[in-house]
Amino acid sequence: MDELAERDLGRTGKMVTRVGLGGEGVLRTQGQDMDAQSVITEAYIQGISYWDSARAYAGSEGYYGSFWRAHDKERPRIFQTSKSARRDRKGALADLKISLSLMGLPHLDLWQIHDVRTLGDVREIEAPGGALEAFVEARESGVVSSIGVTGHHDPAILLHAVESWPVDTVLLPVNPVEKILGGFLDLVIPAARKRGLGVIGMKVLGAGHFLDPRSGFTPEQLIRFALGEDIDVAIVGCATPEEVRTLAEAGRSPPLSVSERNRMLEAYRHDAKRRAFYRGT
């Protein structure tokens, strides 16, 4: 089995594989321990080093915790992340404490301000006593190595965060629909690169909405499309070990050719806005 290619994740100073295990799929469940462990273990076997999670993702952090309690010596090989959607300092720090406890870890490689959607979110996070204070404090104390921001609703809101906040990474949607609509790929990513941020792609399969029979495209092709954009890692939630193997195989393959990319863009152009359901518009 060939090793997965790696890239520097911006100014985090860490290398990560080009594909990462998303925190959704079977990980965003409760009570499916055996299935979740099979997915996490397969990601480890495949050499996938970026592992995504969030306080909001049901049992995700606990599933990772079960893995880490049995495989603590493997921790240096994995870039473990989580997120908090709390907008105040006190709430965010409480979330971090819970995340670390559930995972059984003393620190995270990356902790992210989760799902920033509106100007109201921005004002709360930036305000005195807001969540941004908690994230900076956690990084300065060494409890987390790096901090980031995530968003998939409004490119203008995420652009503000990338340009104004002292974050190390950004997580944003990367797929053919976003290439058509514009905003995240042509505005936010260049701004992130200008500041040296690591860039992580999500919504690569559009929660399965891009896989209808009419499109004719496979998960592997959509992952390879994302990897052709200026990102460091593309994350995908997986329901089975087979899906993890597909993710890894895509990470070992070259990006789509120009003609393949153009064919994909044309297939999605007529209903791109509808397919970008996660924007909430």
Here the CATH number for the domain that contains residue 80 is 3.20.20.100
Is residue 5, in this structure, part of any structural domain at all? Answer: no
For 84-107, the pLDDT digits (tens) are 999 999 999 999 999 999 999 999
Element at 149 (helix H, strand E) = strand 144-150
pLDDT of residue 267: 93
> Which of 185, 173, 172, 89 lies closest to 135 in space, CA to CA?
89
pLDDT of residue 202: 98
Compute CA distances 33 → 42, 82, 103, 246, whole Å: 14, 19, 14, 21
* pLDDT(112) > 80: yes
| H-state helical runs in 127-275 | 131-141, 155-164, 176-181, 189-194, 219-227, 241-251, 258-269, 272-275
| H-state helical runs in the chain | 33-46, 60-70, 89-103, 119-126, 131-141, 155-164, 176-181, 189-194, 219-227, 241-251, 258-269, 272-275
Which amino acid makes up residue 139? Answer: R
> Which of 36, 82, 40 lies closest to 59 in space, CA to CA?
36
Name the domain count of the chain.
Answer: 1
Mean pLDDT on 147-168:
98
Is residue 11, in this structure, part of any structural domain at all? Answer: no
Is residue 86, in this structure, part of any structural domain at all? Answer: yes
Is residue 49, in this structure, part of any structural domain at all? Answer: yes
* pLDDT(193) > 80: yes
For 231-251, the pLDDT digits (tens) are 999 999 999 999 999 999 999
CB contact at 8 A, 223 and 48: no
Is residue 6, in this structure, part of any structural domain at all? Answer: no
Domain that holds residue 132: 17-279
Among 83-92, 180-189, 212-221, which is the least confidently predicted range? 212-221
Identify the band that residue 153 occupies on the pLDDT scale cut at 50, 70 and 90: very high
* pLDDT(176) > 90: yes
pLDDT of residue 123: 98
Is residue 8, in this structure, part of any structural domain at all? Answer: no
Radius of gyration of the chain from Cα atoms? 18
d(CA 67, CA 41): 8
Mean pLDDT on 34-60:
98
Total number of residues shown for the chain: 281
Identify the band that residue 281 occupies on the pLDDT scale cut at 50, 70 and 90: low
Return the biggest CA–CA distance within the chain.
51
Is residue 12, in this structure, part of any structural domain at all? Answer: no
Is residue 131, in this structure, part of any structural domain at all? Answer: yes
Mean pLDDT score across all residues of the chain: 96
Angle between helices 60-70 and 89-103 (to 10 degrees): 40
Element at 3 (helix H, strand E) = none
Angle CA 137–49–133, to nearest 5: 10
